[in-house]
Structure 1
Amino acid sequence: MKKYNYTAFLLILLLALSCKSKQQTAAPVYQIGIGGSIIGYQEQPLIDSILQTALDYEALYTLLDDIKPMSSVKLYRFPLANPDSARQTNANIVDREKHGRHLDRLYAVQQAVNRIDFPDLKFVLVPYKSAQDSFRIVQLSVVRISSLDSLLQAKEAFFGQFGLVPGADPATVVSTIENAGRYERNRGYGYLFGYPDYAVDFFIEAAVESAKTKKILPRKFFQIPVYAREAGSFTYAYPEDHTPTAAIDSTIYYRSGKVLEKYKNIRNNYLNADSTVRAYQLLQDMYKQSPSITDK
């Protein structure tokens, strides 16, 4: 009888150790998003990668403030476009066997984007109207909804022609501007990206002049630093003979500087061992501390 009890005890002990081992190697629990969305452990690295890119570049000024109503986050390039004009009436352009891995990659990005859930922010994937041979460019952008609504109201003389008014879905707005005529597309993006009116006007005037003369008008560039680099990210052109003003350009520059400093001060608190950033958690914590996020 004692031998039987000892054997039973060993079986119970082995079973307990086995369960403990499984618990230790099990997948991490789901993380609940600000708005109630569920982030799975398999999606987390891609989501963090997207958000780290956004925070390290110009989208910082959309994510943590309302300086830019919209910011580009990343461009994806997929060989999915139809380069053959003779096949424009053909319904079968994309071949699953040939293009499946690209479609699957795009699907993974789309699903990750759909999971990102923060108040007043909307991430949108919009394909470029023009293709580059067989490549379709898909732009991932982030929009601050309240800023977009204010912009649509302030610039209704422009956006109204497309049927865009406050409350319009951000993806609809971006897609409409992407597919507008050349100059309207440029002006629409200029406003969405938060460039000053005079810079947007100059950009259009320079494009019209260039189309006529095939020459580029002389210009200078106003550079606003981001975490990843000092120049070339949040940038707009202005006439060569123009002097930037304190009321417009300096205001944007110093407001942006305060946001960048805030990000620099907290970024290292969210570093992984491989120097990647737990960007989703960073944004979560910031929204929990200050739901409005912008400290005016």
Structure 2
Amino acid sequence: MKRTSSIFLLSLILLGGCGAPRQAVLLQTAGMQNAYERYFIDSILQYGLDHEALYTMLGSVKPMSSLVSFSFPVANTDTVSSVKADVVDRKQQGASLDRLFVIQQALNKIDLPDLRFVMLPYRASYEGDRIMQINVVRVSALDSLLKVRESFFGQFGLVPGADPAVVVNTLEFNDRYERLRGYGYLFGYPDYAVDFFVKAFQEDDVTGNFVERNFFQIPTQTREDGYFVYAYPKGHTPTVEPDSAIYYKAQRILNRYRDIRDNYLNADSTLQAYNLLRDHAAPARR
């Protein structure tokens, strides 16, 4: 999980670590009175804006983007049976639940137009660790996707207006290939790339042979490749529609972000990300 460690120090600050946060212009939000909480929220939002979540938070190229993830030792380690009711021991794991509570409360206080922040527990656990992924969803883009792709999402009873948390959790805890397809749509990949992605995984499962692929890269503030990226078949040549169209929509959003970013920098070069989004997150720019 590449982002678990990227915000580890921030989680220590928020969740009771020693030392005060760096001096910054605090979020001008009445519901947020805790300085650690404000710093934490600004930090995860800055991470998202500097990476591919920019295309959800300042646009609608991606209906959903991942932000950061955390790992907590709260999962059931009994691989034989999962019928018992008492899985978590407050004495041993209570601190982890308390930290999760603090993170959830901070996310609940984010109030930005058309954006929802969802903390998703991954279905799979790893030796007792549960990965918790924070995602951001642009609600209007999700509603449009649920309408356009009702032939897929309709099988789960998901229609425009569905709660983003319900949509994401429905996919996470569903069949492997439906999960892959659903995430592909949510992450803004073109239809042909989603089809290829699902079929490639299926072929790998059936034959054990890895399906060769190329990758279409879209730049972010942090780097030119490796973040907003999708796979396509070997031998395929990207086309004006949809590939170039997605690329140039994203490029316009990135250029806009670069134009306004310096106006929200603190003295220590951290970003007043919440204030930036408060001023510019709506209306959505495609």
For the aligned pair, the TM-score class normalised by the smaller chain equals: 0.7 to 0.9
Report % sequence identity. 55
Deviation for aligned residue 1:86: 4.2
Q: Could you list the runs of 4 or more consecutive aligned residues of structure 1 that deviate by over 4 angstroms after TM superposition?
A: none
| TM-score normalised by the chain length of structure 2 | 0.87
Tell me, yes or no, if the aligned pair for 1:58 and 1:234 is still in contact at 8 Å. yes
| 1:195 alignment partner, one of 189, 192, 198 | 189
Deviation for aligned residue 1:208: 1.1
Tell me, yes or no, if the aligned pair for 2:216 and 2:229 is still in contact at 8 Å. yes
* Distance in 1 between residues matched to 2:270 and 2:92, nearest whole Å: 33
Q: Does 1:31 align with 2:25?
A: no
Q: Which has the larger radius of gyration?
A: 1
* Distance in 2 between residues matched to 1:260 and 1:97, nearest whole Å: 47
Q: Does 1:215 align with 2:212?
A: no
| 1:76 alignment partner, one of 58, 70, 74 | 70
Equivalent residue letter for 1:31: Q
Deviation for aligned residue 1:108: 1.4
Give the SS at the match of 1:221.
strand
* Distance in 1 between residues matched to 2:242 and 2:111, nearest whole Å: 32
* Distance in 2 between residues matched to 1:271 and 1:113, nearest whole Å: 22
- For structure 1, list consecutive stretches of 5 or more residues without a partner in the other structure: 1-27
Tell me, yes or no, if the aligned pair for 2:26 and 2:38 is still in contact at 8 Å. no
* Distance in 2 between residues matched to 1:29 and 1:85, nearest whole Å: 45
Q: Does 1:40 align with 2:33?
A: yes
Most deviating of 97-106 and 227-236: 97-106
Give the SS at the match of 1:237.
strand
Deviation for aligned residue 1:277: 1.0
Give the SS at the match of 1:128.
strand
Count of aligned residue pairs for this structure pair: 261
Give the SS at the match of 2:276.
helix
- For structure 2, list consecutive stretches of 5 or more residues without a partner in the other structure: 1-24
**By percentage of residues, which structure has more helix?**
1
| 1:129 alignment partner, one of 114, 123, 129 | 123
* Distance in 2 between residues matched to 1:234 and 1:95, nearest whole Å: 39
Give the SS at the match of 2:126.
coil
Show CA shifts across 1:1-55 (max 9, x none): xxxxxxxxxxxxxxxxxxxxxxxxxxx99833xxxx6222422101101111111
| TM-score normalised by the chain length of structure 1 | 0.84
Equivalent residue letter for 2:277: L
* Distance in 1 between residues matched to 2:50 and 2:95, nearest whole Å: 28
Structure 2 match to 1:16:
none
Structure showing greater relative contact order (alpha-carbon pairs closer than 8 Å, 6 or more residues apart): 2
Q: Does 1:93 align with 2:84?
A: no
| 1:275 alignment partner, one of 269, 273, 277 | 269
Structure 1 match to 2:253:
259
* Distance in 2 between residues matched to 1:153 and 1:142, nearest whole Å: 19
Structure 1 match to 2:235:
241
Tell me, yes or no, if the aligned pair for 2:122 and 2:133 is still in contact at 8 Å. yes
Instruction: Call closer, same or farther: CA 1:57–1:29 in 2, change over 3 Å.
Output: closer
